[in-house]
Amino acid sequence: MSAGDPASLIAAWQALAGRHDLPWQDTRDAYRIWLSEIMLQQTQANTVIPYFHRFLSRFPDVCSLADAPLDAVLQAWAGLGYYARARNLHRCAQRIRDEHSGQFPAQPETLAQLPGIGRSTAAAIAAFAHGVRVPILDGNVRRVLIRYLALAGDPQSTAMNRRLWAQAQAWLDQAPANLDMQAYTQGQMDLGAMVCTRSRPDCSRCPLLESCAAHRLGQQDSLPSPRPRKAQPQHQVWLLIMEYQQQLWLQRRPDTGVWGGLWTPPLLGSPAALQTVLQGLGQPDTVALAGFEHVFTHFRLAMQPVWLRLPKAAPAIQPSWQQLPAGKGATARNPVLIDLDAGQSSWTPLTALNGLGMPAPVATLLDGLYPAAAAL
């Protein structure tokens, strides 16, 4: 087809006006490409860049990542959120080390079978690292295609997903055999991030302006159709910071759910649960610290830290605490509200806190608390 096909137009536009200074560009290193693609899921590039540099300095290749303990990986990831990505990153690195001799497969179908790598991410890795001619469909590309075709309806529905994948493949089918897959793949991402943005798209800069149905119909600001918004619930938890002889009692969160696999002080789901624990400890003196709120994608978590310093006698941490009633709204899908899990808990020296993977708000709280506590 002529140079006016959408894929060729996007590749040419990327060469002239796209992003060229991202730290994971201009490389065929599948490890760096994979790492950036996983970090960029649900996270904007400007946020990812410093994490990407720090992560690479700590884990310069896939085998160093595979050999590292999970806690070290979670600690390096802390602050990026969606911690299942970090756990899958570690599992994927181990699979590549053990099953692929430390080399990323070139075939997108094989890549998609690895932990944390879906169809679009596999395609992006294959295109960037090996020039494989395969379509992608990340959030930016999805938005571009919906506007290009002026498709109304739930942008995440199964029917919409099938239609968009078909169109993404059609663009490749129409493109010439010598299409630059790196420029085209990056160009689709850049177009959605820089021009065809969620709000106030800059249509005058778009290489697809003449053939975009949404622009022709004046619908570029109303598409994609908004998904029905649900009220964001708030949950209350009590964060029990127990100190004993320069140690903290910490628990590893369940692998599934909020802060999965990270270490936190016990999270108690109700005042009654807190009182039960305090009674079991002989009603020690407590200090209620300033509460704070942490916002997740689907709910807000109001956290009330309670700090207590235990006496010299080592306390008996009771397994029965894990049977305490959770707070209102606790379900199997909200394990953040499940009370103390004594089976995954231990006394941890304050000097070892920096070596643990912790949620960013909890790490910030403890960093601020213990310089002050040392002076008491």
Catalytic residue IDs? 37
What is residue 181's three-state secondary structure? Answer: helix
CA 7 to chain centroid: 29
What is residue 155's three-state secondary structure? Answer: coil
User: Looking at this protein, which amino acid is placed at residue 347?
Assistant: W
Strands 300-309, 286-288: pairing is antiparallel
Angle at 232 between CA 228 and CA 233, to 5 degrees: 140
Give the C-alpha separation, 263 to 249, whole Å: 10
Give the C-alpha separation, 226 to 79, whole Å: 28
Give the C-alpha separation, 271 to 329, whole Å: 14
Taking phi first (over 0 means left), then psi (-120 to 50 degrees means alpha), and beta for anything else, what does residue 128 get?
alpha
